Every structure is written in structure tokens, then in C-alpha cells.
Amino acid sequence: MSTASTVSTSQIDLARYPIGKPRRPQSLTAAERAEAISTIEAMPQKLAAAVKGWSDAQLDTPYREGGWTVRQLIHHVADSHMTAFMRIRLALTEDTPTVKPYEEKDWAKLADSQSMPVDASLRLLQSLHERWVFMLRSLKDDQWQRVYRHPESGDTRVDQAAALYAWHSNHHLGHVTRLAAQRGWQQSGSDS
């Protein structure tokens, strides 16, 4: 493989996975669970700060070639994290419930995802994450081992879900901050 191909491939991977691909841990220590919770807790403020003052033109910029716009991405994070919160609640209250998948790409094409101001999803994330973090911090050791079953990805324990959504938080935050750095955008929202 030529050097040019290697650079091109790594750039595509970085554009798609700015913090790397998710890893499914076999188990998490109490410290790792606490770290995942802290990441989930901080995400709404970090995402809101990253796009503070952005114009509609900036929000309607794809974060990578062929990717969603930042607006779609923010609404996707709200959709995804609401779904994750409910899946964890189901795992905590039912015996290995089967959760329903959803077509995130199709959800991103809906009118609210494409044109609604992002403030609603940013506020939703703030409230959702506050409640989610409270719930996660209240869990006993055995509750972290509870499981939900996804028809496509199989069984997921609550601790694995927390790790996944900590990654998901940083993953999409990375998309936004990477785009801002590439474009030289400041928090003020200037299109410089």
C-alpha cells in the first residue's frame, strides 16, 4: 500500500472515528464505571459549549464528507441517548428484555432532525443526562451486571452500555470539535 493510500485511509478513519472505534469491555471496575458516568455527565455542557454562537450555516455543515450536518448530529445524540437511557431502565427492571432497534439514518432525515434549532436537543440532553447520571450513581454492583438483548448486537450489560455511551458522547463531541478546528471556527460563531 502506498503512503498516499495510508494517509487517505487514516484521514477517513479519523473523520469517521475521531477518538477511535468503540471497544466492548468484558467488565468494568468501579473506577471505570465512575469515569464513564463522569463522561456522560459532562457531555451536554461540552457539546453546548462547542457549538455556542454557531450560525445556521455552521450547524448545517456536514462534520465529514458524506456525514450528517452538525444539526443532525446533535439531534441524533438526543435520540440515541434517550434510547440508551430507556434500554438501561428496561434492563434494570426486566429479565433480559429484548430492545427494539431503530433506523438512526432514517431518523436523521426527519424534518425535526434536519431543520429544528439545536437548542431543544441541547436542553433535552442536559435534563436527560442529569437524570441518567443520578440513576447510574445509584446502582448496586449486581445491577451493573443486568442485561438487555439487542436483536442485532446481542446481549449488553448495563456497565457495557455505560461505557459505550461514554464513548458515544466523546465520539460525537470529537466530530464537532474536529470540524471547528478544521474550519477555524471560534465559539463566537464567526464563519472565518
pLDDT above 90 covers a percentage of the chain that reads 85
CA 136 to CA 165: how far, in whole Å? 12
pLDDT of amino acid 12: 63
Listed range (11-20, 39-48, 56-65) with the worst mean pLDDT: 11-20
The CA distances from residue 167 to 7, 8, 18, 55, 130, in Å, are 25, 24, 11, 27, 18
Listed range (8-12, 31-35, 111-115, 141-145) with the worst mean pLDDT: 8-12
DSSP state of 164: H
Across the range 166-190, mean pLDDT stands at 88
CA 120 to CA 190: how far, in whole Å? 22
Partners of 62 in the β-ladder: 69
Ramachandran area for residue 65 (φ above 0: left; ψ -120 to 50: alpha; else beta): beta
CA 47 to CA 136: how far, in whole Å? 21
Q: Residue 191 in contact with residue 179, Cβ under 8 Å? A: no
Q: Residue 76 in contact with residue 107, Cβ under 8 Å? A: yes
Across the range 11-33, mean pLDDT stands at 89
Q: Using DSSP, state whether 62 is helix, strand or coil.
A: strand
* 123-145 pLDDT tens trace: 999 999 999 999 999 999 999 99
Nearest one of 97, 100, 87 to 160, comparing CA atoms: 87
Across the range 150-179, mean pLDDT stands at 97
Exposure b/e, 34-49, CB count within 10 A at least 16 = b: eebbebbbbbbeebbe
Predicted TM-score of the model (pTM): 0.90
What residues does each domain of the chain span?
Answer: 26-183
CATH 1.20.120.450 fits 26-183, yes or no: yes
Q: Is the pLDDT of residue 176 over 60?
A: yes
